[in-house]
Chains A and B, each alone.
Chain A
Amino acid sequence: MVAMTRRGALQASAGDHVAEGSAQPYLEIADLWKSFGDFVALREVTLDIAKGEFVCFLGPSGCGKTTLLRAIAGLDPQTRGTIRQGGSDISSLPPSQRDFGIVFQSYALFPNLTVRRNIAFGLENTGRSKREIDARVTELLDLVGLPEQASKYPAQLSGGQQQRVALARAIAIDPGLLLLDEPLSALDAKVRVHLRHQIKELQRKLGVTTIMVTHDQEEALSMADRIVVINRGRIEQVGTPTEIYREPASLFVADFIGETNKVASTYQGGSVTLGDVVLATSETRIADGAAVTVAVRPEDILPHRAEDAGNGAANMLPVTITDMEFLGSYWRTHLRSDALGETPLVANFSMNAVRRLELEPGTAMAVELPAERVLVFARGA
């Protein structure tokens, strides 16, 4: 499996655990463009998805992730580019001739049909006998955990139940590809977390190749085998959740997924300078003298006593605590450093560390920014 995006390509090969052994990707998207009038919604999107993989399209609203999903379904065809599914070109096939099941944010359940008849809708006129259809519907209802609701109307079900009916309807016809368009965003938080798990379970059990569109990073990180981060119509990065989180390919990804401290600086021979402090970084791909943005995640900042900062210790920064918020499992700590001027630094310190180092607002301390956790991105890229 190769993801051909400029930056994504560098990272994607590392964590392709799913694709191992499968020679031919199940879904191949090549140089896809989509324009609405003058507006380009998708640009040079190239992506391969392996059979049985669970892929999330993640990005802010309006980034083009739903557009890409609809192009794959044939609902809003791309302007340029090709899509191949299971080895054959489906670029110009209408939706009815493609092989997919879909669940929309609205669920689009037929309001005047019972749950049973909603699920049976796609099974009718397919040569199955009524008995077979009934058996299949019962099986599906069991699978999604709604055996009791068969004869109810959608309006009589809760949001989460409706969602599962929609899912059962979509997988009833054993589609080769399951498309989920923000399936959880209409639900409240508790139900959402529960359903995340259920959907992932179901997908694993069925082994159906699945694409889910979401703007919720937590959802993507917890469910996906691989995440495709999309921004302004372009793929920013493709990778496993850990790759995306630990090794963001761009400042956008670093910023969009998780939290990050950002400081402007200049890159020079494997290190960056913040005020009078020089920070080593493991980043090596940037030209000397380039203007860069330095990004460090709050949880990657390690607390030390103030005296540890002296003696030219590597990547140490003397700071003062300005504010602390208790967030249960850790303290969210706001720091000020002369090296950073007005730019505050946010760090997450464990309760243990706070107790051990006797940290409180006003305390002068030192923080360590480990070289391999100091992310550097050329600016203007």
Chain B
Amino acid sequence: MTEMTAELPPGRRVRLSLDRDGIIKRIFMGVIALYLVAALALPLYAMLSKSFVTYGFDLARYEFQVSDETGTVWSEPVTAEALNAELGSVPADDLRSSSDGRLTATTFFPDFSFRSPVKYRMRGTTDDAPWLVGLDLKNTTDWQEYDSNTFRRINLRPVKSVGAQNYVEYFSNPTLFSSIQNSLYIAVVSTVLTVVFAFGFAYAINRSCMPFKGAFRMIAMMPILVPSLLPGIALIYLFGNQGMMKSLLMGQSIYGPLGIVIGSVFFTFPHALIIISTALSIADQRQYEAAESLRASKWRTFWTVTIPGARYGLISAAFVTFTLVITDFGLPKVIGGQYNVLAIDIYKQVIGQQNFEMGAVVSVILLIPAVVAFLVDRQVQKKQVSLLSARSVPYQPRPDRRLEALCLAWCGTMAVFIVGIIAICQYAALIRFWPYDLSLSLKNYAFDRMDGGGWAAYWNSIKLALMTAGIGTVVIFTGAYMVEKIDGFKTGRGLFQFLAMLPMAVPGMVLGLAYIFFFNNPANPLHFIYGTMIILVISTVTHFYTVGHLTALTALKQIDAEFEPVASSLRQPFYKLFARVTVPVCLPAILDISIYLFVNAMTTVSAVVFIYSTHTALASIAVLNMDDAGDIAPAAAMGMMIFYTNAGARILHALASRRILNRTQAWRLR
């Protein structure tokens, strides 16, 4: 059937002229693409290039002459390198430096005295040989003469060089290198546990006639409402040095891998559950009937029908969990003890040692597993979609006493674990002074008396969450609409799609660090947003862009593709169709995107920890900082404030959704 285009008659390809709609759509898409470039691509590029930058003193670039006591007879010029080789005053390691490094010139002159009449001359041997005289920067190849009193105020400045040296240094540092191992270990163990627990839970909900399914489902979603470090606090109360059940650990310490893994299972559980549950909910009854008619045992049916049917869901859940754990920062910070992981290394390098270049290196390394997991997940998701479109008879679970008892026990255990963690935090927040004064009080909620930003931080979080939900939903939905409903313009759409998927692969901390490099650069025209609420909103919207984008795309794909042609044949502008039809029809998805952004903006730590300022401290950051300062109970109290808020927002969202749907979606009823 395929015949070659070579037969096409010569001539120019017919192209449609653009109408107003086409132009407006392209402008919209361009603006949102520009947003993604500025908020994502350029910062990442800045970070990547930063990781290849090193600063060091290049002694060969400086030449000195010293006079005799009369200041008239001069010695032969000699380079600092030669002097150092002779004297060994600066070991090679100390020649490495940061962008702020300084090296006093007198180091190379052991006989130097600032009272001496001896004079000094110096010059650069290349164009780039900076030194400071006091605060004045000099950079010249002409001889400069200084008396000894001035000479003591001369500092050499490091020069920038580009290369893989930071990476070499990173991999030759065993402490840093071991973090990779630790991170992988934690992520793999947590992933296996979470997927197993979530699978059992999803199985019970989808494949059994167990009672209380609704309640279990609700409980399972609770961890989404709190920051990932909250389980850490609960674990400290349970098993920490003064923990209630410390003896249960039999000498094991909760501070370290154990605590991180338990906490990780807690906060990744709902994410894995949603994915696996979706996979299990699309089973085909007929396959089970076939298995039964072939007299396959239940056990065999489970392994030959159930597991293969859910395999894409399981793989996808595993990669999502893996990425969440390996990129998480809050939990190892709170309960990791001396156990170093990659996310912690970034934090330590940047906040502790101000070594931004090395922070960038660790970020790039952390990007690798995240990107790989992301790519594999995308492939798997594509296959899952093709399974979904198959026509099948939905599976109807049959009552089975033994199975139900087992399911109830499984879900019950998970529910106790999840509710228990939250309840412990609540208890911790209300206790006057653990473990000495167990009376209840609200004093831990007096945040204004603690470090961390106080109640202002909480209100900032609300502000951030509302702005993120509002602005983010508009930007994300509009972007998805333009990319889905624009005609032609394939390259542009492909590029946009790539930019929209990218945030999923970028850990929050990496994004945050990239923002420092990009927005804190005074040469950047967007520098003014640094340290404001705007940058927090931008980083949060960007960090959570992909899930919203995918939700919007799914909703938009379900709309008849012929609406746009019909509207343009009726000579109506696309924005009328957008406002009158597309948005109302997609309202459920739009509401979902907004609550997703709200909840995540309330709980995120990693995306904002590098870029908040004292005016824009956030509740989630306050939890981290109060915990850091030893105010664990107030930290738990603030964590619970986030929980109440998110739970409230969820309820409000559910009510509002129902009301809006009742009012505007009457057409859905037959």
Measured in the bound complex, the distance between the Cα atoms of B441 and A145 in whole Å is 73
Chain B CB within 8 A of A342 CB: no
Residues of chain A with a CB closer than 8 A to B570's CB: 101, 121-122, 169, 172-173
Chain A CB within 8 A of B136 CB: no
Q: Which of B4, B21, B580, B668 contacts A113 (CB 8 A)?
A: B580
Q: Which of B5, B7, B14 contacts A77 (CB 8 A)?
A: B14
Q: B14 touching A40 by the CB < 8 A rule?
A: no
Residues of chain B with a CB closer than 8 A to A33's CB: 8-9
A102 touching B565 in the complex, CB below 8 Å, given contacts A33-B8, A111-B585, A232-B1: yes
Interface residues of A in 26-54 (CB under 8 A from B): 31, 33, 35, 37-40, 43-44
A121 touching B585 in the complex, CB below 8 Å, given contacts A110-B580, A156-B670: no
Chain A CB within 8 A of B76 CB: no
A94 touching B16 in the complex, CB below 8 Å, given contacts A40-B5, A121-B572: yes
Chain B CB within 8 A of A153 CB: yes
Residues of chain B with a CB closer than 8 A to A35's CB: 5, 8
Q: A95 touching B670 by the CB < 8 A rule?
A: no
Q: A40 touching B7 by the CB < 8 A rule?
A: yes
Interface residues of B in 156-185 (CB under 8 A from A): none
Among A78-86, A194-202, A240-248, A299-307, the one that faces the other chain is A78-86
Q: A108 touching B566 by the CB < 8 A rule?
A: yes
- Binary flags per residue of A142-186, CB closer than 8 Å to B gives 1, else 0: 000000000001111000000000000110110100000000000
Measured in the bound complex, the distance between the Cα atoms of B567 and A124 in whole Å is 12
Q: B21 touching A96 by the CB < 8 A rule?
A: yes
Chain B CB within 8 A of A91 CB: yes
> Which of B15, B581, B584, B668 has the most chain A CB atoms inside 10 A of its CB?
B581
Chain B CB within 8 A of A22 CB: no
Chain A CB within 8 A of B93 CB: no
Tell me the nearest residue of chain B to A35, going by C-beta.
Answer: B5
Chain A CB within 8 A of B563 CB: yes
Q: Which of B2, B13, B569 contacts A102 (CB 8 A)?
A: B569
Chain A CB within 8 A of B576 CB: yes
Q: Which of B7, B16, B665 contacts A92 (CB 8 A)?
A: B16
Tell me the nearest residue of chain A to B20, going by C-beta.
Answer: A96
Q: A155 touching B668 by the CB < 8 A rule?
A: yes
A77 touching B15 in the complex, CB below 8 Å, given contacts A102-B566, A110-B580, A112-B667: yes
Interface residues of B in 1-28 (CB under 8 A from A): 1-5, 7-9, 11, 13-22
Residues of chain B with a CB closer than 8 A to A73's CB: 565, 569
Residues of chain A with a CB closer than 8 A to B568's CB: 94-96
Residues of chain A with a CB closer than 8 A to B15's CB: 77, 92
Q: A78 touching B14 by the CB < 8 A rule?
A: yes
How far, in Å, is A291 (CB) from chain B's closest CB? 24
A100 touching B667 in the complex, CB below 8 Å, given contacts A33-B8, A93-B16, A112-B584: no
Tell me the nearest residue of chain B to A154, going by C-beta.
Answer: B667
Interface residues of B in 629-669 (CB under 8 A from A): 664-669
Q: B572 touching A100 by the CB < 8 A rule?
A: no
Tell me the nearest residue of chain B to A90, going by C-beta.
Answer: B16
Chain A CB within 8 A of B571 CB: yes
Chain A CB within 8 A of B560 CB: yes
A96 touching B560 in the complex, CB below 8 Å, given contacts A33-B9, A125-B576: no
Q: B580 touching A39 by the CB < 8 A rule?
A: no
Q: B4 touching A31 by the CB < 8 A rule?
A: no
Tell me the nearest residue of chain A to B1, going by C-beta.
Answer: A232
How far, in Å, is A61 (CB) from chain B's closest CB? 12
Tell me the nearest residue of chain A to B11, going by C-beta.
Answer: A80
Measured in the bound complex, the distance between the Cα atoms of B2 and A79 in whole Å is 17
How far, in Å, is A69 (CB) from chain B's closest CB? 11
> Which of A97, A108, A126 has the most chain B CB atoms inside 10 A of its CB?
A108
How far, in Å, is A373 (CB) from chain B's closest CB? 33
Interface residues of B in 574-623 (CB under 8 A from A): 576, 580-581, 584-585
Q: B19 touching A97 by the CB < 8 A rule?
A: yes
Q: B16 touching A74 by the CB < 8 A rule?
A: yes
Measured in the bound complex, the distance between the Cα atoms of B1 and A40 in whole Å is 9
A153 touching B666 in the complex, CB below 8 Å, given contacts A35-B8, A106-B560, A108-B560: yes
Chain B CB within 8 A of A75 CB: yes
How far, in Å, is A1 (CB) from chain B's closest CB? 24
A124 touching B8 in the complex, CB below 8 Å, given contacts A96-B21, A104-B566: no
How far, in Å, is B491 (CB) from chain A's closest CB? 15
Q: Which of A37, A39, A94, A155 contacts B22 (CB 8 A)?
A: A94
Q: Which of A40, A79, A94, A153 contacts B17 (CB 8 A)?
A: A94
Q: B19 touching A92 by the CB < 8 A rule?
A: no
A96 touching B670 in the complex, CB below 8 Å, given contacts A75-B565, A102-B565, A110-B581: no
- Binary flags per residue of B378-408, CB closer than 8 Å to A gives 1, else 0: 0000000000000000000000000000000
Q: Which of A37, A38, A100, A124 contacts B569 (CB 8 A)?
A: A100
Q: A121 touching B565 by the CB < 8 A rule?
A: no
How far, in Å, is A236 (CB) from chain B's closest CB? 16
Q: Per DSSP, are chain A's interface residues mostly helix, strand or loop, or mixed?
A: loop
Residues of chain A with a CB closer than 8 A to B11's CB: 80
- Binary flags per residue of A190-223, CB closer than 8 Å to B gives 1, else 0: 0000000000000000000000000000000000
Measured in the bound complex, the distance between the Cα atoms of B17 and A44 in whole Å is 23
Q: B14 touching A112 by the CB < 8 A rule?
A: no
Chain A CB within 8 A of B100 CB: no
How far, in Å, is B620 (CB) from chain A's closest CB? 38
Chain A CB within 8 A of B562 CB: yes
Residues of chain B with a CB closer than 8 A to A112's CB: 581, 584-585, 664-665, 667
Q: A80 touching B14 by the CB < 8 A rule?
A: yes
- Binary flags per residue of B551-567, CB closer than 8 Å to A gives 1, else 0: 00000000010110111
A155 touching B7 in the complex, CB below 8 Å, given contacts A80-B13, A96-B21: no
How far, in Å, is B623 (CB) from chain A's closest CB? 43
Measured in the bound complex, the distance between the Cα atoms of B276 and A93 in whole Å is 49
Tell me the nearest residue of chain A to B22, going by C-beta.
Answer: A94
- Binary flags per residue of A265-289, CB closer than 8 Å to B gives 1, else 0: 0000000000000000000000000
Residues of chain B with a CB closer than 8 A to A75's CB: 487, 565
Measured in the bound complex, the distance between the Cα atoms of B570 and A97 in whole Å is 10
A39 touching B16 in the complex, CB below 8 Å, given contacts A108-B563, A155-B668: no
How far, in Å, is A153 (CB) from chain B's closest CB? 4
Residues of chain A with a CB closer than 8 A to B8's CB: 33, 35, 40, 79-80
Tell me the nearest residue of chain B to A100, going by C-beta.
Answer: B569
Residues of chain A with a CB closer than 8 A to B21's CB: 94, 96
Residues of chain B with a CB closer than 8 A to A232's CB: 1
Interface residues of A in 4-42 (CB under 8 A from B): 31, 33, 35, 37-40
Tell me the nearest residue of chain A to B668, going by C-beta.
Answer: A155
Q: Which of B1, B20, B560, B569 contacts A101 (CB 8 A)?
A: B569
Interface residues of A in 276-328 (CB under 8 A from B): none
Tell me the nearest residue of chain B to A81, going by C-beta.
Answer: B14
A155 touching B567 in the complex, CB below 8 Å, given contacts A96-B21, A104-B562: no
Tell me the nearest residue of chain A to B562, going by C-beta.
Answer: A108
Measured in the bound complex, the distance between the Cα atoms of B18 and A97 in whole Å is 10
A96 touching B19 in the complex, CB below 8 Å, given contacts A77-B14, A106-B560: yes
A173 touching B16 in the complex, CB below 8 Å, given contacts A95-B565, A112-B664: no
Residues of chain B with a CB closer than 8 A to A38's CB: 2, 4-5
Residues in chain B within 8 A of chain A (CB atoms): 1-5, 7-9, 11, 13-22, 487, 560, 562-563, 565-572, 576, 580-581, 584-585, 664-670
- Beyond contacts A73-B565, A121-B567: 19 other A-B pairs, Cβ-Cβ < 8 A, are A33-B8, A35-B5, A38-B5, A92-B15, A94-B22, A96-B569, A104-B560, A108-B560, A111-B585, A121-B570, A121-B580, A126-B571, A155-B667, A155-B670, A156-B670, A169-B566, A169-B570, A170-B566, A173-B571
21 A-B pairs with C-beta separation under 8 A: A33-B8, A35-B5, A38-B2, A39-B1, A77-B16, A78-B14, A79-B13, A94-B17, A94-B18, A96-B568, A101-B569, A102-B566, A106-B562, A108-B560, A108-B566, A110-B580, A112-B665, A121-B570, A122-B570, A122-B572, A156-B670
The 3 A-B pairs with the shortest beta carbon distances in the complex, nearest first, are: A122-B570, A108-B562, A153-B667
